[in-house]
């Protein structure tokens, strides 16, 4: 059986996020073996805005991208908002090659995402891929 | 399990029928006794199990026993809702059906303040093992242990082993009933039971599981809702033992046994014996679990081996595939990261002169990706045979995949059609790595995109693009397992190294191009594990001679 000797992904759920925001920070490579933990933590039906910060993620594989797409689809179904923040060039290239860069909702920083998507700010439909 | 609903001069109670027989009368030696009910003889009647039935017999009482108003003169098989009356005592036989509410086998309770639940004997495995060897009852207990060891040595599936262990334990200490539970995570699951309606206090549970102690308890009333003057009630005064199923330092469950105080009062020697047997049982259970795990893994490995064979058979393996077509060279390879992979390549002649070829990459790895790949490949072949443009094919394929996709998987795909007479290439790229044109100067990436990854976005329209291949020019398709191959220093192979390879080897025949690139990847990896499937396809256009 082949295994990959890489650092493990840490998923940190922010204990005191701004009101109405579910904030997760990922640190480390995001790959197939992390997707179930990610899915379990990221899908919260009762939270209006989910932000996943990728500042600490050097790369992700296709299975991880699939789980991010799953988050996108989940939020669309539930009419909730989400944002991916801090994606580096490598992740940006992956999104671009896969043709989902105009679909996924991304912002440079957490603050940018909150300002754009938090209640009271101008509403951005997740489907339109706000930047 | 059946029960008796008892009304004794207005005082109601319930007796679950979980023992072989119940004597009823005024005498305290009866399992069900009412010293104060007039008209009741000292030994009035017996209710005993006979196969699936319960039989009621009057024991020669003075005032007789009546069922549904009729005095019985011979053994009576009780039926659901039969009413038995003796003076001011009335019993209703309640035959609980499977559709009736099933009470749980074990309920953990907080003992009320009235409870005299203080262990009269306690010990850990080591101390009780020492006592067992020094005890004067050693010979008798040794027999029980030897019998148990012999019985447990037989090869049995786990479910039957649990039943056997509990039966041996209950018999060895002369208990009335017992339950064997194993710890699965934080939860205790009943694996075998003799009897039902066990009420075990949390203190006992925690002492056994967390402190790893064997307990002997003479339990007084654990249900203070019942009147103390009633000498028969749901929870009789019972003698209780609870011991851990323990291997070395690890507790995997517990065995609990009890008995009505008047039937059997457990001793410290019984506790030692039960602890020893429980220790043996725990080792046996763990061994059986490991054996089952190994068997499951062997079966799984065989299934994967079989799946890999099927997948290899699906991918073209004869090269050169079209020896009658000297106008092009074609070679491809797929190296899965696991036994089966999610990458695919394929090629086929659409009609004389048109060659279709494809490389795809399903998200994820292993068996799920391989299954999705098989579906994708089959759908693409069927779609391509309809002779639509590459963009039309991917549009149709995407909608077909979306319809069947409940797993949030997707596939990236490059599908091209080469006119082998003219070198005109039409293609559609759905979220796949940009291929390279090579063989004439520096390698050049083909960056035209047709649309996103396939399988997630219904109704997506994929555009067809075109390129003109010059004679001697090749197109190289690859999956991201190539560019993301890693070495021991955690460096990626990357597009830079790929382009450098193509600059040096871009004019090689298709087969050499692929074999050489695979070798370069292996050399780069330097023994680091392969993280993703690696797929390559090279098509060189030679034109007509």
Mean pLDDT across B159-167: 88
- Taking CB atoms and an 8 Å cutoff, what residues of chain B touch A73? 408, 456
**Other beta carbons less than 10 A from residue B393's beta carbon:** 27
Contact between B409 and A98 using a beta-carbon 8 Å cutoff: no
How far, rounded to the nearest angstrom, does the alpha carbon of residue A49 sit from its chain's CA centroid?
Answer: 11
Which among B537, B510, B517, B512 is positioned nearest to B326, based on CA atoms?
B510
How far, rounded to the nearest angstrom, does the alpha carbon of residue A48 sit from its chain's CA centroid?
Answer: 14
pLDDT of residue B288: 85
Beta bridge partners of B107: B199
Kindly report the CA angle at B344 between B342 and B350, in degrees rounded to 5? Answer: 155
pLDDT of residue B223: 39
pLDDT of residue B186: 80
Which among B232, B197, B225 is positioned nearest to B8, based on CA atoms?
B232
Contact between B449 and A99 using a beta-carbon 8 Å cutoff: yes
Contact between A98 and B412 using a beta-carbon 8 Å cutoff: yes
The C-alpha of A18 sits at a distance from chain B's nearest C-alpha, in angstroms, of 30
- A1: nearest CB among B338, B409, B490: B338
CB–CB of B244/B254 below 8 Å?
yes
ipTM above 0.95, yes or no: no
pLDDT of residue B237: 57
Mode of pairing for the β-strands spanning A81-85 and A106-107: parallel
pLDDT at B117 > cutoff 60:
no
CA distances from B530 to A57, B341, B363, B487, B521 (A): 20, 12, 16, 9, 10
Contact between B431 and A73 using a beta-carbon 8 Å cutoff: no
CB–CB of B148/B277 below 8 Å?
yes
pLDDT of residue B514: 97
- Taking CB atoms and an 8 Å cutoff, what residues of chain B touch A63? 363-365
Mode of pairing for the β-strands spanning B436-438 and B424-430: unpaired
Helix residue ranges per DSSP H, B385-479: 390-404
Question: Which pLDDT tens digit goes with each residue over B223-268?
Answer: 343 333 333 344 455 788 999 999 877 899 999 998 876 666 788 8
How far, rounded to the nearest angstrom, does the alpha carbon of residue B9 sit from its chain's CA centroid?
Answer: 52
pLDDT of residue B317: 87
Which among B215, B211, B209 is positioned nearest to B257, based on CA atoms?
B215
HEC string of B174-243? Answer: CCCEEEEEEEECCEEEEEEEECCCEEEEHHHHHHHHCCCCEEEEEECCCCCCCCCCCCCCCCCCEEEEEE
Contact between A5 and B528 using a beta-carbon 8 Å cutoff: yes
| Greater model confidence, A59 or B116 | A59
- Taking CB atoms and an 8 Å cutoff, what residues of chain B touch A67? 408
- Residue B122 token pair: 């306690």
Cα separation of B342 and B535, whole Å? Answer: 10
Which among A82, A75, A66 is positioned nearest to A31, based on CA atoms?
A66
pLDDT of residue B135: 54
b/e code A93-107 from CB counts within 10 Å (16+ = b) = ebbebbbbbebbbbb
Cis amide linkage into residue B320, ω under 30° from 0: yes
pLDDT at B348 > cutoff 90:
yes
Contact between A66 and B364 using a beta-carbon 8 Å cutoff: yes
With CA atoms as reference, the chain B residue closest to A39 would be: B408
CB–CB of B276/B127 below 8 Å?
no
CA distances from B328 to B324, B354, B367, B423, B511 (A): 10, 11, 34, 9, 12
Contact between A2 and B531 using a beta-carbon 8 Å cutoff: yes
Cα separation of B112 and A25, whole Å? Answer: 48
Contact between B365 and A98 using a beta-carbon 8 Å cutoff: no
Nearest 10 degrees: Cα torsion B173, B177, B182, B187 = -140
Beta bridge partners of A22: A50
Cα separation of B232 and B30, whole Å? Answer: 9
Q: Is B432 in CB contact (< 8 Å) with chain A?
A: yes
Q: Is A74 in CB contact (< 8 Å) with chain B?
A: no
Q: In terms of residues, how long is chain B?
A: 545
Question: Which pLDDT tens digit goes with each residue over A72-120?
Answer: 988 988 889 999 999 999 999 999 999 999 999 999 999 999 999 975 5
- A2: nearest CB among B337, B480, B490: B337
pLDDT of residue B508: 94
Q: Is B434 in CB contact (< 8 Å) with chain A?
A: yes
Cα separation of A68 and A37, whole Å? Answer: 12
The C-alpha of B191 sits at a distance from chain A's nearest C-alpha, in angstroms, of 30
Mean pLDDT across B128-146: 67
pLDDT at B189 > cutoff 50:
yes
Contacts for A4-9: CB closer than 8 Å, 24+ residues apart: A4/A31, A4/B486, A4/B529, A4/B531, A5/B528, A5/B529, A6/A31, A6/B486, A6/B490, A8/A34, A9/A34, A9/A37, A9/A38, A9/A57
Q: Is A40 in CB contact (< 8 Å) with chain B?
A: no
What is the model's pTM?
Answer: 0.65
- Taking CB atoms and an 8 Å cutoff, what residues of chain A touch B412? 62, 97-98
pLDDT of residue B231: 35
Residue B241, classified by CB atoms within 10 Å of its CB into exposed (0-12), middle (13-18) or buried (19+), is: buried
Cα separation of B7 and A129, whole Å? Answer: 72
Phi, psi of A20 (to 5 degrees): 80, 10
**Three-state DSSP class for B285?**
helix
Beta bridge partners of B217: B119, B240
Phi, psi of B215 (to 5 degrees): -125, 140
DSSP conformation class of B441: S
Q: Is A62 in CB contact (< 8 Å) with chain B?
A: yes
The C-alpha of A16 sits at a distance from chain B's nearest C-alpha, in angstroms, of 29
- B453: nearest CB among A1, A3, A98: A98
CB–CB of B380/B346 below 8 Å?
yes
Q: How does the average pLDDT of chain A come out, rounded?
A: 83
Cα separation of A77 and B399, whole Å? Answer: 19
Which among B459, B329, B315, B431 is positioned nearest to B381, based on CA atoms?
B315
Mode of pairing for the β-strands spanning B198-201 and B106-109: parallel
Q: Is A100 in CB contact (< 8 Å) with chain B?
A: yes
Mean pLDDT across B391-407: 90
CB–CB of A51/A124 below 8 Å?
no
Confidence of residue B379 (pLDDT cuts 50, 70, 90): very high
Q: Is A88 in CB contact (< 8 Å) with chain B?
A: no
**Other beta carbons less than 10 A from residue B283's beta carbon:** 15
Mean pLDDT across B475-498: 94
Q: Is A129 in CB contact (< 8 Å) with chain B?
A: no
CA distances from B286 to B125, B161, B294 (A): 17, 11, 12
CB–CB of B47/B65 below 8 Å?
no
Contact between A62 and B412 using a beta-carbon 8 Å cutoff: yes
Confidence of residue A3 (pLDDT cuts 50, 70, 90): very low
Contact between A32 and B364 using a beta-carbon 8 Å cutoff: yes
- A63: nearest CB among B338, B363, B412: B363
Cα separation of B85 and B45, whole Å? Answer: 11
Which among B540, B293, B330 is positioned nearest to B436, based on CA atoms?
B540
List of residues 6+ apart from B359 with CB closer than 8 A = B332, B343, B344, B345, B413, B414, B432, B477, B478, B479, B535, B537
Q: Is B408 in CB contact (< 8 Å) with chain A?
A: yes
Q: How does the average pLDDT of chain B come out, rounded?
A: 85
Which among B260, B96, B107, B264 is positioned nearest to B198, based on CA atoms?
B107
Mean pLDDT across B39-60: 91
């Amino acid at each position: 059986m082949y295994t990959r000797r890489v650092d493990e992904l840490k998923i940190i759920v922010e204990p005191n996020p701004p009101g109405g925001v579910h904030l997760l920070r990922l640190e480390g490579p995001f790959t197939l073996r992390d997707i179930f933990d990610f899915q379990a933590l990221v899908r919260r039906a009762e939270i209006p805005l989910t932000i996943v910060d990728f500042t600490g993620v050097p790369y992700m594989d296709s299975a991880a991208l699939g789980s991010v797409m799953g988050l996108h689809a989940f939020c669309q179904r539930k009419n909730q908002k989400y944002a991916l923040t801090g994606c580096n060039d490598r992740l940006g290239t992956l999104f671009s090659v896969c043709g989902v860069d105009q679909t996924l909702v991304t912002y440079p920083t957490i603050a940018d995402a909150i300002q754009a998507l938090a209640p009271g700010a101008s509403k951005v439909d997740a489907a339109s891929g706000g930047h | 399990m059946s029960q008796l609903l008892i009304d004794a001069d207005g005082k109601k109670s319930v007796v679950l029928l979980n023992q072989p027989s119940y004597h009823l009368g005024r005498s305290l030696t009866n399992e069900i006794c009412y010293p104060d009910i007039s008209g009741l003889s000292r030994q009035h009647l017996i209710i005993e199990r006979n196969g699936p039935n319960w039989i009621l017999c009057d024991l020669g009482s003075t005032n007789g026993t009546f069922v549904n108003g009729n005095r019985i003169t011979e053994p009576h098989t009780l039926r659901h809702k039969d009413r038995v009356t003796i003076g001011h005592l009335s019993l209703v036989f309640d035959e609980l059906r499977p559709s009736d509410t099933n009470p749980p086998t074990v309920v953990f309770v907080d003992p009320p303040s009235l409870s005299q639940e203080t262990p009269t004997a306690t010990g850990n495995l080591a101390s009780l093992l020492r006592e067992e060897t020094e005890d004067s009852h050693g010979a008798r207990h040794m027999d029980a242990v030897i019998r148990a060891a012999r019985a447990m040595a037989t090869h049995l599936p786990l479910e039957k082993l649990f039943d056997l262990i509990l039966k041996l334990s209950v018999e060895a200490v002369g208990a009335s009933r017992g339950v064997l539970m194993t710890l699965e995570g934080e939860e205790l699951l009943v694996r075998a039971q003799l009897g039902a309606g066990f009420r075990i206090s949390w203190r006992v549970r925690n002492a056994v599981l967390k402190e790893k102690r064997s307990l002997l308890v003479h339990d007084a009333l654990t249900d203070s809702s019942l009147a103390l003057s009633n000498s028969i009630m749901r929870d009789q005064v019972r003698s209780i033992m609870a011991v851990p199923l323990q291997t070395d330092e690890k507790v995997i469950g517990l065995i609990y046994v009890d008995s009505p105080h008047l039937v059997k009062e457990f001793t410290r020697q019984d506790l030692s014996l039960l602890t020893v047997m429980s220790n043996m049982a725990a080792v046996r259970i763990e061994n059986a679990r490991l054996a089952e795990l190994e068997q499951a893994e062997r079966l799984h490995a065989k299934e994967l081996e079989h799946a890999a064979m099927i997948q290899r058979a699906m991918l073209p393996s004869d090269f050169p595939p079209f020896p009658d077509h000297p106008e092009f060279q074609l070679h491809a390879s797929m190296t899965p990261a696991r036994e089966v992979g999610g990458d695919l390549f394929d090629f086929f002649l659409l009609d004389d002169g048109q060659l279709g070829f494809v490389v795809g990459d399903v998200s994820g790895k292993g068996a799920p990706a391989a299954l999705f790949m098989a579906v994708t490949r089959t759908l693409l072949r069927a779609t391509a045979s309809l002779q639509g443009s590459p963009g039309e094919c991917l549009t149709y394929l995407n909608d077909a995949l979306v319809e069947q996709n409940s797993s949030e998987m997707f596939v990236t795909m490059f599908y091209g059609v080469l006119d082998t007479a003219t070198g005109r290439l039409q293609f559609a790229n759905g979220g796949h790595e940009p291929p390279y044109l090579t063989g004439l100067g520096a390698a050049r990436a083909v960056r035209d995109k047709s649309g996103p990854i396939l399988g997630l976005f219904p109704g997506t329209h994929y555009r067809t693009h075109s390129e003109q291949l010059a004679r001697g020019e090749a197109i190289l398709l690859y999956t991201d397992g190539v560019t993301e191959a890693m070495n021991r220093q955690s460096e990626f192979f990357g597009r830079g190294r790929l382009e450098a390879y193509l600059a040096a080897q871009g004019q090689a025949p298709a087969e050499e191009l692929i074999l050489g690139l695979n070798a370069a990847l292996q050399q780069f990896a330097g023994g680091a594990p392969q993280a993703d499937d690696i797929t390559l396809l090279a098509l060189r256009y030679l034109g007509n001679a």
